[in-house]
Every structure is written in C-alpha cells, then in structure tokens.
Chains A and B, each alone.
Chain A
Amino acid sequence: MTGRRTMNALGGAIAAVLSLAAVAPIVLADAPWPRAARDLLATAGLEDTGASNLVSAIYLGYRAFDTLGETIVLLAALAGSVSLIVAEGSSRGAGKNLADKAKPLHTEIVNVIAGKLAPIVLLFGAYVMLYGHSSPGGGFQGGVVLASGIIFIAIGRRSGGLGRIDPSLTAFGHASLARIEAAAFSGILLLSFPGVGRAVEAFRVAAWNRGLGIPAVSTIIALNVAIGLKVGAGVALMCVLMLGGNDE
C-alpha cells in the first residue's frame, strides 16, 4: 500500500508542477483590463434595462436568452441528480440507507433552532429575490437562500419525520416542490422568449399612454422571481430527497 501511496504523491507533485507551469502565466499576467464595457454600461445600462444593479442588467436585461440556457443547465443537473437519488437499486455492501445514519443528528436543539430560523431565512430570501434589480442579489442568490429556508423547515420537523404527512399534500413536500419548479421554469421560458420582451415593451407603452405607469424594470423583477422560485424549489427538492424524504 505504501508503494501506491508514494506513486500517488509523485503523480500529484508532477501534476502540480506541470499545471503550475501552464496556469501561472495566465494567473500572474498583469495586463490592463479594458474599460470600454464598463463605461458603456455605466452610461447606458440603466436607460436600456431599467435595472440599477448592472450585473442584473447584463444577465437579465441584455442577455436574458443566455440565462435561459443557464437555467436549462441547472434543470438538467437537477433532473439527473433527482433521478439518480430516487432510482430503485440494489443496495449491497456496507452502504445502507444514509438517512438511518443521519437520524442521531436530529437533536432537540437542531429541531427548535431550525424551526425558528426558517421564517427569517425565507423572508430574507424573498427580499434578495425581489430587490435583485436595485441591490446586490437576484434570482439565483435569492433562490438558494429560499432553498436553505425550506431545508430548515424540513430538518426542523419534530422527531425527524421528513414528509410524515403525505408529501403530495404539504406545501414543502417534494411533490409540490417539483410542481413549483416546473411552473417557474415555464415562466422563465415564456419571459425570455425573444418576442416577449418586445410585446411587453409595446404593452408598457400602451399602458403609459392610458396613464398607467409600469416601470421598465418589471420584466427583470418577473424574471428574478421566476428564477428564484425555480432555483429555490429545485435545490430544496434535491436536498429534501437526499435527506431521505423519499423513503416515507
């Protein structure tokens, strides 16, 4: 075994030296960063998209179609993970159900703290999601915070009874999470379709003429909310399934 360990260490050292030689010039090169994109966005970003958070302006205003591709990557990874977790398979060897080993973690302290913290975390997630256009945050970040709130609810349930109630009936069971994710994804699909932006703009101008002011940033807020719900439901679904909610 020691021979193999030396071989491993030697291989690691060689890999480290070779990659150091390959990567060091890229990382250490101190070329000046171009200012053109920043200056253009500083002058035109708010006018074009309505979002004062310029990062949101880029990935939801200018490049919403790319964000659709990004959510498809997320959807594919989640679908693969979820199907691998729930797939029935022969469990051989020492690898018994991980949920059985996780049971001792359900102490009274974890139950109480997680249950009390969950509403606060959910509220913060909603704030990050809804104000992504004007302050640091956005759909992806808010969605992950929402997911941690849902996980707090899941582990805060008494006596470790994840999904003790029928999972299709509870608001945070995995059946409804999957439904929320599907609905939010169709929302993103609709909102980032190229023609929709123009249609929304035409509708906005028409509403403006009738005296109804709809701010230009409303598309970005809607996209942020849809992405937040999709990411939150997807990540929470995967974690709830990993915690062992599918066994009951």
Chain B
Amino acid sequence: MIARSLILCLFITGLVGLTTRRNLVKKAYALSIMNSAVVLLFVLEGSGIGDKAPLLGGSPGVFVDPVPQALMLTAIVVGVCVSALALTIAYRLHRIYGTLDADELKRLVGHE
C-alpha cells in the first residue's frame, strides 16, 4: 500500500505542476513525471504475481508478468516522443517570442 500511495503522490505532483507552473519547460517535465507514475503503477501491478525478471533459463522461481512490461516499453517510448516534441515547441516559442511564460505567451500570440 505504501508503494501505491507514493505512486499516487507522484502522479498528483505531476498534475499540480502541469496546472500551476507557468514555465513551459516545467510543464513538459510535469507531463514526464505523470508518465513515470503510470509506468511505475503498471510495473507494480505486474509484479504482484512473482518476483523474478521475465527471463527464461535464469535462476528458478516465479517471474513477474511480462505483458505490462512490454506495454510500458511502448508507453516510455511514446512519453519520450511527447517530451521531445513539447520541449522543441517550447524552444521554438522561446526563439520567436523570447519568453517561456505561458501567460505572457498567450498575451504575445494574441496581439499578433
């Protein structure tokens, strides 16, 4: 239960960061934190039925469910894609408008 509560805290941390921070780079990091929380939750769920890495031919014992791990591999890759694209858009906005503040950007873009 402690692990689950900590994952919940991590997720809420990311969500609060996403909603309250005005710096676009911090928003991108907050998204990444939320993604990590979801990945951790799935890996934790899959590890409920075993405790060995899903490699055949290793030491004897029951291993964890490999299906959530394979799914989370996809989630990590997509998360990296989202982070890369978000950070690139922030970089581009900074090059054009000279600021990373979301409110100021809204004001500047609105006046174009």
The total of chain B residues at the interface (CB under 8 A) is 51
- Cβ-defined contact, A92 with B98, below 8 A: yes
In angstroms, how far is the closest chain B Cβ from the Cβ of A109?
A: 26
B36-86 CB contacts (< 8 Å) to partner A: 41, 45-46, 48-50, 53-57, 63-67, 69-70, 73-74, 76-78, 80-82, 84-85
- Cβ-defined contact, B48 with A33, below 8 A: yes
User: How big is the A interface, by class?
Assistant: 35 or more
In angstroms, how far is the closest chain A Cβ from the Cβ of B98?
A: 2
Q: Which residues does chain A contribute within 8 Å of B94, judged by CB atoms? A: 95
- Cβ-defined contact, A91 with B55, below 8 A: no
Partner-contacting stretch, out of A53-61, A178-186, A196-204 = A53-61
- Cβ-defined contact, B96 with A84, below 8 A: no
Question: Dominant SS at the B interface?
Answer: helix
Taken together as a complex, chains A and B put the C-alpha atoms of A93 and B55 apart, in Å, by 54
In angstroms, how far is the closest chain A Cβ from the Cβ of B57?
A: 5
- Cβ-defined contact, B91 with A140, below 8 A: no
B23 at the interface (CB under 8 A from A): no
A28-57 CB contacts (< 8 Å) to partner B: 28, 30, 32-33, 35, 37-38, 41-42, 45-46, 52-55, 57
In angstroms, how far is the closest chain B Cβ from the Cβ of A31?
A: 9
A108 at the interface (CB under 8 A from B): no
- Known interface pairs A35-B49, A78-B84. Does A53 touch B55 (Cβ–Cβ under 8 Å)? yes
Taken together as a complex, chains A and B put the C-alpha atoms of A16 and B73 apart, in Å, by 28
| Residue in A33, A41, A74 whose CB lies within 8 Å of B49 | A33
- Cβ-defined contact, A19 with B12, below 8 A: yes
Question: Dominant SS at the A interface?
Answer: helix
- Cβ-defined contact, B41 with A92, below 8 A: no
Q: Which residues does chain A contribute within 8 Å of B8, judged by CB atoms? A: 20, 23-24, 27-28
- Cβ-defined contact, A93 with B85, below 8 A: no
- Known interface pairs A54-B54, A54-B55. Does A28 touch B4 (Cβ–Cβ under 8 Å)? yes
A67-100 CB contacts (< 8 Å) to partner B: 70, 73-74, 76-78, 80-81, 84-85, 87, 89-95, 98
- Known interface pairs A16-B16, A63-B70. Does A89 touch B49 (Cβ–Cβ under 8 Å)? no
Taken together as a complex, chains A and B put the C-alpha atoms of A186 and B91 apart, in Å, by 30
- Known interface pairs A28-B1, A140-B77. Does A20 touch B96 (Cβ–Cβ under 8 Å)? no
Against B, the Cβ 8 Å flags (1 = close, 0 = not) of A8-28 are 110110011001100110011
A-B contact pairs, 12 of them (CB 8 A): A19-B12, A20-B8, A27-B4, A28-B4, A38-B63, A41-B67, A54-B55, A70-B77, A95-B96, A95-B99, A98-B95, A242-B91
**Chain A to chain B: the 7 pairs with minimum beta-carbon distance, closest first:** A93-B98, A77-B81, A12-B20, A58-B70, A54-B66, A95-B98, A81-B88
